[in-house]
Structure 1
Amino acid sequence: MSSNRLFNLKRPHQFFGLGFGLGLAPKAPGTFGTFAALPFIFTTMYFPLWLQIVFAIVISVFGIWACGKTADDLGVHDHPAIVWDEVAGYYITMIGAALSWQSLLVGFLLFRFFDIAKPGPIRILDRRLHGGLGIMADDILAGIFSLICVQALFKAGYLPF
């Protein structure tokens, strides 16, 4: 049976796991799914830093459940349509960032680079962990790497505050 028949956005875990349906894009679902983080970024951009971190933890833990359950439905460990991991990763990238089109673009590009290239420890997590945690962990770490880069660019004056 095709996994397309198993997609059901009326099921809450799939609605979120599939990034509100953006993961169903026919090309580059991970890239499209990353955009699903934007409402969360815009909604929380004026929250205190500690609350942004708590929110990142909440969406990451929630993602372990939603992605794992969606993967079970589809019968595929990390189906390309499962993109909540990208949502969490890009959200993490933008924690504490002064938002501008430049910071959003640089954060997006950095996160997609680390998510796709999977250097070093990101690749190790991707290969060794399974289930919802395995789907989420490499993107969380890619988000942390991207966060460090974005903050370094802010500190160096390359991104506007």
Structure 2
Amino acid sequence: MVKIIAQWFGLGRIKYAPGTFGSLGALPICYILILFPYFISQIFEYEYWKMFWIIFIVIELKLLILGYYSIGKFTVIVGVKDHKSIVIDEVIGQVISFAILFFLTISRFPSQYQDFISLPVFFYIFFISFFFFRIFDIFKPFGIRWLDKNIDGTTGVIIDDIAAGIIAGIISSILYRYFILNS
């Protein structure tokens, strides 16, 4: 089970670009992240954006717990700190990047969030966040490389992806608002 989670259901075993495929493995989680709060908000009459953040925190905490446990155990098994097949950290970072972009996008149109949960808009927003997350995860600018190189253990494996997700989410949100929503 540790291997399955660390390699995110086999995506980390893909020979070429396992991190990219691991990031794509976050796609169903991200769709659940936007859909589940919609249903909850309809049933219990909560505001969508409040439910979105509650669900995001729950999902992200579960991913962090699973990731921390599975990476720690898997690292001992393979004997390598950040084995290339470990991709749950990419899933964690990608979900963060998507959540920030999605929230900052819909916050501009809070009464129209139903339009943003359609599949075409979801895929569009997901792939914008995916593109920027992969850039920041691969090239590791803005201190991300320092985190990757200087923090040891499981925390070091995960923290650079969290930072890449936060920065990618913020920058993609700014660019999305400036170039897409204002056009």
| In 2: Cα distance, 1:157 partner to 1:34 partner | 24
Tell me the TM-score normalised to structure 2 length: 0.75
Q: Secondary structure at the match of 2:162?
A: helix
| In 2: Cα distance, 1:141 partner to 1:95 partner | 14
1:7 paired residue number: none
| Unaligned ranges ≥5, structure 1 | 1-11
Q: Secondary structure at the match of 1:95?
A: helix
| In 1: Cα distance, 2:174 partner to 2:57 partner | 18
CA RMSD of aligned residues (A): 1.8
1:68 paired residue number: 72
Structure with higher helix content: 2
How much has 1:104 moved relative to structure 2?
A: 1.4
The answer to whether 1:106 aligns with 2:110 is no
The answer to whether 1:19 aligns with 2:8 is yes
| Unaligned ranges ≥5, structure 2 | 38-50, 103-115
2:25 paired residue number: 36
Residue 81 of structure 1, aligned match among 77, 82, 85: 85
2:170 paired residue number: 148
Q: What is the count of residue pairs matched by the alignment? A: 149
| In 1: Cα distance, 2:68 partner to 2:159 partner | 9
Contact residue 60 and residue 140 of structure 1 kept, 8 A:
no
| In 2: Cα distance, 1:53 partner to 1:21 partner | 25
Tell me the TM-score normalised to structure 1 length: 0.84
Residue 158 of structure 2, aligned match among 136, 155, 158: 136
60-69 or 17-26, which deviates more: 60-69
Contact residue 96 and residue 162 of structure 2 kept, 8 A:
yes
99-108 or 148-157, which deviates more: 148-157
150-159 or 61-70, which deviates more: 150-159
2:106 paired residue number: none
2:53 paired residue number: 50
Q: Secondary structure at the match of 2:86?
A: coil
How much has 1:157 moved relative to structure 2?
A: 5.5
Q: Percentage identity across aligned positions?
A: 36
Q: Which has the greater radius of gyration?
A: 2
How much has 1:54 moved relative to structure 2?
A: 3.4
Contact residue 53 and residue 95 of structure 1 kept, 8 A:
no
| In 2: Cα distance, 1:26 partner to 1:159 partner | 38
